[in-house]
């Protein structure tokens, strides 16, 4: 690979299949500056889906100002978690789900790797679904179709874009995200200018306030929808940076790049959704396509471009990392094969939801909160592990179950399982029929049961995050010290 890099220019590298998989990135391949992390993170989060989160937040029954507070805190804090986990990539130059072995053990880490794979495959499928539905909605309004054939064509185009980028790998992704950032950024500004007159401040400011529990529920939902959906792959891109790169720069540029677009889009989405009850209800069925209703005909095609590119930007990062997670579980195949397999799963899931599925919002909320609980537990454990380490990772031992990181480290494994079990008992989602079993601890703990005030506060995610961090910090620090004394 190093020899290839020496003779190939940037364009040829971008169009070549990346050979790196779970391996540590060699010194000669580490390149760039922390500021370059801005591009993949901004490009993955500039999607107009951020506008729809305004309607999602107001759906908790809170006021504009409450929703804005929940959004700012939830978005920035959750992406700060991504920035902090990105530090592990700089220090270990391996994928996130390999570096996680230092906390869980080499084979004990298969549990969080499985959860990570489910989350990333789920997210890339959700984004592909949204791109397909949005294209069909806009084309129908243009009189170009909108039925099954339009959806099939849209799915093929979006699926090919995502899978090709995922299979070819890092260099193409970095170049594609820079283009996506510029195009979607410009067109999103135009979109905001065109629909700004739809905002009614008197209507928005008159929205009644909700309870503290409703505010917490919205905040946690936004955390899971934004940064907590990315923490399990946060180090996959910082691993290419030189070890001497600034740690503060890695955290800062990751957090800033990921947060800035969602903050703007979410705030404007609140104003739009708060001004129109009809728009809020339409977003529940088609979160992207509904946003096109207020647009003039001449901007519908550019809107499809900005919508699809923004969603593809997120799906590309997901499919790349889902392939790495699948390898970490134990798939005996090259990275590009794993990415291709995930692409097939993504397309199959999209076909099911688009052509045979039910209302989108309830299933989407259920997906986020259900997987958000174990991911939050994993995030807390790994953050505590990162904070207690004084040295870089012993690279060879990350791949050897007889090495210093061990085979199965039971404290974090058991902590993740128990925190998840308790967390699922503290969340509910009545709109998703397959999740009615959750919330089983709300009544025994005196929180009002599944219909009480705390039912939709999503406390289980916060509990899992804090419990994972506290238990690992208290019980795992001595194990880290012993690991660092070896060799």
Tokens 């977003």 -> residue: 283
Mean of pLDDT values over 215-243: 92
- 267/143: higher pLDDT: 267
Q: Are 309 and 183 in contact (CB under 8 A)?
A: yes
Q: 7 pLDDT exceeds 50? A: no
Q: Decide: 461 and 220 in contact? Cβ < 8 Å.
A: yes
pLDDT given for residue 384 in this prediction: 97
- CB-based burial, 258-280: b 16+ in 10 Å, e otherwise: bbbbbbbbbbbbbbbbbbbeebb
- Sign of the alpha-carbon torsion through 282, 68, 428, 111: positive
Name the nearest CA neighbour of 51 among 266, 261, 294: 266
User: DSSP letter string over 245-263?
Assistant: S-HHHHHHHHHHHHHHHHH
- Each residue of 403-418: pLDDT tens digit? 999 999 999 999 999 9
With a CB cutoff of 8 Å and minimum separation 6, the contacts of 197 are: none
The pTM (predicted TM-score) of the whole model is 0.88
pLDDT band, residue 5 (cuts 50/70/90):
very low
Of 477, 76, 37, the residue nearest 247 (C-alpha): 37
| Integer Cα distance of 441 and 81 in angstroms | 27
State yes or no: pLDDT of 305 exceeds 90.
Answer: no
Maximum Cα–Cα distance across the chain? 69
Helix, strand, or coil (residue 403):
coil
Compute CA distances 472 → 45, 89, 219, 327, 468, whole Å.
30, 20, 25, 26, 6
For the segment 11-33, what is each residue's pLDDT rounded down to a tens digit?
555 556 777 778 888 888 888 89
The contacts of residue 395 (CB under 8 Å, 6+ apart) are: 24, 92, 93, 94
- Domains annotated on the chain, with CATH: 29-364 (1.10.4160.10)
Q: Is 12 exposed, middle or buried (0-12, 13-18, 19+ CB in 10 A)?
A: exposed
Give residue 423's pLDDT.
Answer: 96
Tokens of 448: 């009002």
CA distance 380 to 464: 8
Residue 290 near residue 282 (C-beta atoms within 8 A): yes
Which of 180, 193, 184 is CA-nearest to residue 296?
193
pLDDT band at 431 (very low <50, low <70, confident <90, very high): low
C-alpha to C-alpha distance for 84 and 407, rounded to whole angstroms: 25
Confidence band for 154, pLDDT divided at 50, 70 and 90: confident
**Most confident option among 165-169, 190-194, 294-298, 398-402:** 398-402
């Amino acid at each position: 690979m190093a020899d290839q890099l020496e003779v190939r220019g940037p364009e040829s590298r971008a169009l070549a299949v990346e050979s790196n998989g779970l391996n540590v990135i060699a010194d000669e391949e580490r390149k760039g500056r922390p500021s370059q992390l801005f591009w993949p993170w901004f490009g993955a989060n500039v999607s107009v889906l951020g506008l729809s989160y305004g309607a999602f937040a107001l759906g908790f029954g809170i006021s504009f100002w409450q929703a804005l507070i929940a959004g700012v805190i939830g978005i920035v804090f959750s992406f700060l978690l991504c920035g902090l986990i990105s530090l592990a990539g700089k220090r270990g130059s391996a994928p996130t789900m390999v570096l996680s072995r230092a906390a869980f053990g080499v084979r004990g880490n298969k549990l969080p790797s499985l959860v990570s794979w489910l989350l990333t495959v789920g997210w890339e499928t959700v984004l592909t679904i949204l791109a397909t539905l949005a294209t069909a909605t806009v084309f129908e309004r243009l009189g170009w179709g909108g039925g099954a054939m339009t959806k099939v064509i849209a799915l093929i185009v979006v699926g090919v874009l995502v899978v090709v980028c995922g299979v070819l790998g890092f260099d193409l992704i970095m170049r594609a995200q820079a283009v996506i950032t510029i195009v979607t950024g410009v067109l999103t500004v135009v979109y905001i200018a065109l629909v700004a007159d739809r905002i009614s401040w008197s209507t928005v400011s008159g929205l009644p306030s909700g309870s503290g529990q409703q505010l917490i529920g919205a905040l946690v939902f936004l955390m899971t929808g934004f940064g907590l959906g990315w923490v399990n792959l946060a180090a996959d891109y910082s691993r290419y940076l030189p070890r001497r790169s600034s740690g503060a720069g890695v955290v800062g540029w990751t957090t800033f790049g990921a947060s800035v677009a969602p903050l703007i889009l979410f705030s404007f989405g609140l104003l739009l959704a708060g001004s129109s009850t009809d728009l809020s209800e339409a977003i529940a069925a088609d979160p992207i396509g509904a946003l096109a209703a207020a647009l003039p005909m001449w901007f519908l095609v550019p809107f499809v471009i900005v919508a699809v590119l923004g969603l593809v930007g997120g799906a590309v990062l997901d499919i790349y990392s889902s392939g790495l997670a699948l390898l970490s579980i134990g798939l005996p195949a090259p990275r590009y094969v794993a990415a291709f397999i995930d692409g097939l799963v993504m397309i199959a899931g999209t076909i099911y939801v688009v052509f045979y599925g039910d209302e989108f919002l309830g299933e989407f909320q259920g997906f986020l909160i259900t997987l958000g609980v174990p991911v939050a537990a994993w995030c807390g454990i790994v953050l505590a592990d990162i904070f207690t380490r004084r040295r870089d990772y012993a690279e060879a031992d990350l791949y050897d179950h007889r090495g210093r990181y061990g085979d199965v480290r039971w404290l974090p494994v058991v902590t993740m399982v128990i925190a998840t079990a308790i967390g699922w008992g503290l969340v509910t989602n009545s709109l998703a029929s397959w999740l009615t079993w959750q919330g089983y601890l709300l009544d025994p703990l005196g929180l009002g049961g599944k219909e009480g005030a705390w039912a939709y506060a999503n406390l289980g995610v916060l509990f899992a995050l804090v419990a994972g961090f506290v238990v690992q910090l208290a019980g795992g620090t001595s194990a880290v010290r012993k690991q660092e004394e070896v060799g």
